[in-house]
A and B are shown apart, each in its own frame.
With several copies, the nearest count.
Chain A
């Protein structure tokens, strides 16, 4: 039997050195050193009659502004203006590559970290701060930019995305060949989320109904303090093979490759060819959130190793070395970033606190008598303090 009991994958291989940088299956079009490279299946195509350099400069700008959103918000948290902030430092290329691959009619289901994708969809970055400041739970209109609300319960949105995609199928907006009509959905989640039942059920439903959804997983190597090895012992993109749809691992720090792969996956969905799993292989350079202390669980060496793969630096090197952008361009982007920073700093402090009685709003499409009575009683209670100072506090 011992021969027969000796089958299955060789784990040493799986997380051996070959994997450290994503392994051979990593799809890359722009190296950390800023060199363009070829890939047999994927190439960077900005689209009919669109200037390539212009597009890449646009990506650069997007990533710089996205990073600025992150650093400003982090600073605002330090200054007590935000309760907490989920940092995306290091994941700019993954988010801009995915965000720019979308068409207006596509719909996005984000986690709590998709600030770059939100920016691509035209959501005012300021409105992202409300949730972290505690003045709302997501103030943008999901249907205004086809960008859903941040979802905090890990994995829940993967099912919403699949259901939304099933709705698109029922609207006959898949596989018609009309580029303005055919739509797809992208579900964002992290490496840790891949362990949740909901995410795996989403794979089941998407495969069963061949739903037009792209499962976009940013594998930033960590779920708070837990390394990717705790969630999977094989490369994560291979999870899709168990459900009968393709899985791809792209260099998540390479905006060109992420754009190309996501665009292909989205088109495949719009064409009616069903779901795709995209693993954007990247690294969480910051803490899990501003309340986390990564020094308790990870080595600085890793972080240093990944610094060399910075998603923005490689594009800057590429643009400069090939004379596709000059200082005036970079200065202009810098100025825009400063403006954005100003907008966020000033805007954040100006975000109005909700009114106490708003607690009772929108629990239902119309307030029930039961709830109205509770609200009125509370209003009367609050009124009873007018003039007098509430001693307050618990």
Chain B
């Protein structure tokens, strides 16, 4: 099959279509996912081709969407829920943490909860309040949920299909800033990596940079800039946030002795905190410097005119790399 150039939005749209073709039990639910194809057009054309019973425009109520999806899953369906923006997942938070996450445990495995909750996340699109949040840590802290974040078009295509095929509930984070940004070559024959595996996306020897979703691009840029200054950064795209795939991370940090974690979420109790704790527990004697964290500040997301000051960028990553190397 010939390769084709696709955006992340296209990859997700193709992946959803493929999943719906492969399994008639797959349903899409959410606000404006039908005729409109979602505000980001990720479900574009799917209602036209699969009908209103499989691509379901819902009333404006997130708890209602997720709560009814639980019932559909109990009836044997595989609902894929779209949350319109990260900041609007919270009305559904109770259903997600108390029901979606716990039903398998509560029923001792008699019930499965094969649900995917898609959340466009992160900032950088010049939006108003509540449209640029990074809620991943709150879900990763919740046992029973799996949490993944894609960072590129090809992963988008494969990971959404793998998440839908997973019998556990998966919080699926999509870096909205990348939806229509860079294109990549999709070669369907190549096939995917396992869903719950992290990936070294650039090899290096001096410092390990851990990123996921929107910050993978930031980290890659930083690595290029660093290379120009003769510094070799290894970049790992975590891809899975719960469970974490620590093996490649530990292997890398044992070599470099230094790690920098970057994400858009608040630093305080963000993924960086957990990664720092685990790396320190497991590589204590290899560490030349403490794990440093570059993230969103511990403030609400600011007005968009200064969001680039709030968001980690390559300079702040390089600054952390310098500080790490200075230890």
Contacts and interface: CB of A to CB of B under 8 A. Distances in A.
Interface of A: 83-84, 109, 112, 130-139, 141-143, 148-149, 152-154, 156, 158-171, 185, 192-193, 195-198, 201-202, 204-205, 208, 223-226, 230-231, 291-292, 296-297, 353-356, 358-365, 368-371, 374, 378, 381, 384-385, 390-394
A154 B90 CA distance: 11
Nearest to A393: B313
B300 A163 contact: no
Interface stretch (B2-10, B30-38, B198-206): B30-38
B112 interface: yes
Contacts of B143: 363
Interface in B28-84: 31-32, 34-37, 39, 53-54, 57-61, 63-64, 66-77
B71 A170 contact: no
B146 A364 contact: yes
12 contacts: A137-B303, A139-B108, A142-B107, A149-B111, A153-B99, A162-B68, A162-B71, A163-B73, A196-B60, A297-B36, A360-B299, A394-B124
A143 B110 contact: yes
Given A142-B110, A296-B37, A360-B297, A198 B91 contact: yes
A368 B244 CA distance: 10
B57 A230 contact: yes
A81 B44 CA distance: 29
B68 to A, nearest CB: 3
Most B Cβ at <10 Å: residue of A109, A185, A358: A358
Contacts of A292: 39
B316 interface: yes
Given A83-B127, A134-B303, A364-B146, A393 B71 contact: no
A198 B71 contact: no
A369 B243 CA distance: 8
Contacts of B221: 394
B128 A84 contact: yes
Nearest to B68: A163
B69 to A, nearest CB: 6
B21 interface: no
B71 A161 contact: yes
B109 interface: yes
B312 to A, nearest CB: 8
Contact of A226 (B32, B108, B217): B32
A224 B64 contact: no
Contacts, number: 264
Contacts of B31: 223-224, 226
A392 B167 CA distance: 37
A391 B315 contact: yes
B225 interface: yes
B303 A364 contact: no
A365 B167 contact: yes
A135 B304 CA distance: 7
A370 B243 contact: yes
B298 interface: yes
B179 interface: no
B190 to A, nearest CB: 25
Contacts of A168: 75
A134 B128 contact: yes
Contacts of A385: 315
B288 interface: no
Given A142-B107, A163-B75, A195 B126 contact: no
B143 to A, nearest CB: 5
Contacts of A138: 106-107
B13 interface: no
B185 interface: no
B290 interface: no
B60 A226 contact: yes
Contacts of A353: 305-306
Contact of A160 (B32, B74, B300, B305): B74
